Amino acid sequence: MSDIAQIHSTPDSEGSDAEPEEPRRRFELEETGFKEVPKRWRKFYRHWKGEGDSLGPNEVICPVCKVVIRSTREFRPGDRVYCMPCMSRMVVVRSDDGSLEAKVTY
């Protein structure tokens, strides 16, 4: 897969006792007009619109530059994402309130 918001699954530490995961939902991404990255990657990013904006299951917000990173598949904890505008590498984690957020690793 050549998408910039590539999904990498982490190995399951519980072994064969864990329940099999449901397949990830897929999403069709539309051009968002995000001009800060090359045209090929624009559909994978959008601007955060503020307080009334909400994130979908295939979106996380970059804590560094406040850009929304999008994927063609839903995010799950342990997925790694890359923010092209600020060049940050992150891992998706579940927050205390149950939502998904990105934590910077580099």
pLDDT at 40: 92
Q: Which residues contact 99 (CB under 8 A, 6 or more apart)?
A: 55
State the pTM of this model: 0.77
Are β-strands 67-70 and 80-83 bridged in parallel, bridged antiparallel, or unpaired?
Answer: unpaired
- Over the chain (106 residues), the average pLDDT of each successive run of 10 is 47 51 89 91 93 92 95 95 96 92 93
Q: Pseudo-torsion of CA 18, 97, 93, 2, nearest 10°? A: 100
Q: Domain ranges for the chain, please list them.
A: 25-104
Q: What is the DSSP letter of 26?
A: B
pLDDT at 12: 46
pLDDT at 74: 94
Decide if 32 contacts 46 (C-beta within 8 A): yes
CA 50 to CA 29: how far, in whole Å?
A: 21
CA 82 to CA 61: how far, in whole Å?
A: 11
